[in-house]
Amino acid sequence: MNREDFPILKNNLIYFDNSATTFKPQAVIDSMVDYYTNYTANAHRGDYDNSLKVDIQYEEVRTKVKDFIHAKSEREIIFTSGATDSLNRIVFGYMKTHLKSGDEVLITKAEHASNVLPWLELEKEIGIVVRYIPLENHIVTMENVEKSITEKVKVISLAQVTNVLGDVRPIQEIGKLCQKNHILLVVDGAQSVPHFPVNVEELGIDFLAFSAHKMLGPTGVGVLYGKEKLLEEMRPLEFGGGMNATFSSNGEVEYKSLPSRLEAGTPPIAEVIGMGAAIDYLEKIGMERIHQQEIELKKYFLERAKEVENLVIYNPDLENGLIAFNIDGVFSQDTAVYLNHYHICVRAGNHCAKILKEDLFVKNTCRISFYFYNTKEEVDELIRVLKNTKDLFQIVLS
Amino acid sequence: MDPALKRQILLEHYQNPSHHGLVEEEGYIKINTNNESCIDNLDMMYKIEDGKIQDIRFDGEACAISTSATSIMIDTLIGKTLTEAKEILKNYDAMLNEREYDERLLGDLNLYCDISKQPNRKKCAFLPFESLNKVLENEKRNG
């Protein structure tokens, strides 16, 4: 649906790599061009008209984000460069000063590198202990979460939706459990916020990270959500303009209040404005509708995939818009190169979840990830190509 | 060469690669080659005696181009001196990057002469040579 809004779709291209990044609607592109063409100015600085307009636009996006994820206040919304940046700030700006040696952090082996490596670094730096919640059939179960909790567990950090299999974690139940046990819940929302409604209050999330470019917005901008009392205690990782109130040569420094204190330097203004336009666009369609369209496309794919021999699908039972598969006996990258020959874009590899293979027993998969602008006709073309793989190696090796 | 014949040879090397499978034997240097694409993963082992490559073995998961190139590289290198191997590496690299090279040194590795037209596959074709590169650097340091 809404295909006419995406200029790139005019090219002869079937794009099934939406978990990596999404296409941008004209409205998002226009909003950024408008800023660069008609009212370029820095934020929070001047008293002239354009600067004021920038201020208003920039802060309006904060309100949009707040409403989009149902946060309590604008002071809980920090603009970052993306989910990776947000997670690093959580780990090094908050956890580093609030955890001590021996404290345990629970993650899983299906996490994206961005929710593994910062923790492993902190483990080396201050001696926290990173432990893995065992997966049941690749899935996080409440039973295993409960079993993993000890008195030393201070943080649980999980993707709401994983980027390899697309399973949705029971965040609300985990949130309740965390609250009861005084555990902080960090959620990587990179693969969930773009695809269905997320309500941080209802889910009991303490910190949430996500990126704009996976939800129709520009690259280079994302969001760090944190409960206000937590962000109040977060140490900035960057110091400079825009975040200080006063400072003097004798070393006396006072920083601004939230959210400015955590946004040093000139922010990505055009990108923030673009993200605002993306949120407007998504809300116009409706997040629930987006979710249903993706589920529908996967159902259709699974139905038609029965016609294809030698197709191994790793996550047929998960209700989402993501399919992890291989053609039996064909290396995933060769499958992706073959599909590229027919202008079909899929991702091959381990999808930045390098330790999942220890659990999945498959090192590499091809991944189809739908977004609402994909169509059944595109799935038909994919099936046609997958049914006719006799020339696969001719194509791959030529 | 006829493109169909060329593909046939590559496919044969992919499906039945030479010297596949590691061995439990003393005297081998072990090297893992991870492509920067973070998908291919080849374990290689080299046996070098008196400045000569006596044997190479490999195992792991990689795409058709990487796997066939590994097989052909091994066939080409066994029996060569390290100096000769270095020349082969240099000329193969030149071929992939469209510089002048001596095709007489490359044998069946010439089958990859068109890969430069597909820049995203160059890394795959070069992957096994990353391990040779490491072996040569090692030997230089130790030698």
Best to test chain A binding among B15, B39, B41 (most A CBs inside 10 Å) = B39
What is the reported pLDDT for B36? 58
Average pLDDT, chain A: 94
Q: What crossing angle do the helices spanning A287-305 and A376-387 adopt, rounded to 10°? A: 30
The rounded distance, in Å, linking the Cα atoms of A241 and B133 is 47
Longest dimension (CA), chain A: 75
Between residues A244 and A82, the one the model is more confident about: A82
| Nearest one of A392, A334, A311, A338 to B64, comparing CA atoms | A334
3-class secondary structure for chain A? CCHHHCHHHHCCCEECECCCCCCCCHHHHHHHHHHHHHCCCCCCCCCCHHHHHHHHHHHHHHHHHHHHHCCCCHHHEEEECCHHHHHHHHHHHHHHHHCCCCCEEEECCCCCHHHCHHHHHHHHHHCCEEEECCCECCECCHHHHHHHCCCCEEEEEEECECCCCCCECCHHHHHHHHHHCCCEEEEECCCCCCCCCCCHHHHCCCEEEEECHHHCCCCCCEEEEECHHHHHCCCCCCCCCCCEEEECCCCCEEECCCCHHHCCCCCCHHHHHHHHHHHHHHHHHCHHHHHHHHHHHHHHHHHHHCCCCCEEECCCCCCCCEEEEEECCCCHHHHHHHHHHCCEECEEECCCCCCCHHHHCCCCEEEEECCCCCCHHHHHHHHHHHHCHHHHHHHHCC
What is the reported pLDDT for A69? 98
What is the reported pLDDT for B37? 57
A318-371 pLDDT, tens digit each? 889 999 999 998 999 999 999 999 999 999 987 655 556 665 556 688 999 999
What is the reported pLDDT for A174? 98
The rounded distance, in Å, linking the Cα atoms of B93 and B87 is 10
DSSP letters, B66-86, are HHHHHHHHHHHHTT-BHHHHH
* Burial of A175 from C-beta contacts in 10 A (0-12 / 13-18 / 19+): buried
Residue B101 tokens, joined: 């090279």
* Dihedral class, residue B101 (left if φ above 0, else alpha if ψ from -120 to 50, else beta): beta
A235-274 pLDDT, tens digit each? 999 998 888 878 888 888 888 889 999 999 999 999 999 9
A5-15 pLDDT, tens digit each? 999 999 989 99
pTM of this structure: 0.90
Domain residues of chain A, as ranges? 26-284, 286-397
Residues 353-392 of A with CB under 8 A from B: 354, 363-364
What is the reported pLDDT for A254? 85
The rounded distance, in Å, linking the Cα atoms of A398 and A395 is 5
Separation in Å, CA of B12 to nearest CA in chain A: 11
Per-residue pLDDT, averaged over B112-140, amounts to 87
The rounded distance, in Å, linking the Cα atoms of A140 and A172 is 13
Of A348, A363, A396, the CB nearest to B64: A396
Per-residue pLDDT, averaged over A193-210, amounts to 98
A44-78 pLDDT, tens digit each? 767 899 999 999 999 999 999 999 999 999 999 99
What is the reported pLDDT for A398? 79
Query: Cβ contact (<8 Å) for B39 and A398?
Result: no
What is the reported pLDDT for A311? 94
B63: contact with A, CB 8 A cutoff: yes
Per-residue pLDDT, averaged over A149-158, amounts to 97
| pLDDT over 70 percentage in chain A | 96
| pLDDT over 90 percentage in chain B | 50
Phi then psi for A30, rounded to 5 degrees? -60, -40
Between residues B22 and A246, the one the model is more confident about: B22
Best to test chain A binding among B63, B72, B122 (most A CBs inside 10 Å) = B63
Helix ranges (H only) for B16-118 are 64-77, 82-96
Phi then psi for A223, rounded to 5 degrees? -130, 140
Query: Cβ contact (<8 Å) for B63 and A396?
Result: yes
What is the reported pLDDT for A355? 58
In this structure, the dihedral spanned by the alpha carbons of residues A114, A116, A122 and A125, taken in order and rounded to 10 degrees, is -110
- Architecture per CATH, domain A26-284, reads as 3-Layer(aba) Sandwich (3.40)
Question: CA-nearest residue of chain B to A353?
Answer: B38
The rounded distance, in Å, linking the Cα atoms of B36 and B123 is 8
B74-109 pLDDT, tens digit each? 999 999 999 999 999 999 999 999 999 999 999 999
A90-143 pLDDT, tens digit each? 999 999 999 999 999 999 999 999 999 999 999 999 999 999 999 998 899 999
Whether the complex's predicted ipTM is more than 0.85 is answered with: no
What is the reported pLDDT for A198? 98
The rounded distance, in Å, linking the Cα atoms of A29 and A281 is 12
Residues of A identified as active-site:
352
Whether B25 has a pLDDT exceeding 90, the answer reads no
B9: contact with A, CB 8 A cutoff: no
Separation in Å, CA of A395 to nearest CA in chain B: 9
Query: Cβ contact (<8 Å) for B64 and A349?
Result: no
A350: contact with B, CB 8 A cutoff: yes
The rounded distance, in Å, linking the Cα atoms of A215 and A206 is 22
Of A349, A350, A397, the CB nearest to B65: A397
A334: contact with B, CB 8 A cutoff: yes
| Nearest one of A59, A81, A11, A116 to A258, comparing CA atoms | A59
The rounded distance, in Å, linking the Cα atoms of A4 and A24 is 11
CATH 3.40.50.10070, domain A286-397, yes or no: no
Residues 96-155 of A with CB under 8 A from B: none
Whether A163 has a pLDDT exceeding 90, the answer reads no
Contact list, A332 vs chain B (CB under 8 Å):
39
Separation in Å, CA of A73 to nearest CA in chain B: 41
The CA-atom distances, in angstroms, between A204 and each of A239, A306, B143 are 30, 40, 62
B35: contact with A, CB 8 A cutoff: no
What is the reported pLDDT for A213? 98
Question: CA-nearest residue of chain A to B67?
Answer: A331
Whether B28 has a pLDDT exceeding 70, the answer reads yes
The rounded distance, in Å, linking the Cα atoms of A201 and A205 is 7
Separation in Å, CA of B116 to nearest CA in chain A: 12
| pLDDT over 70 percentage in chain B | 96
**DSSP reduced 3-state for B20:** strand
User: pLDDT band at A182, cuts 50/70/90?
Assistant: very high
B11 membership: H or E segment, kind and range: helix B3-15
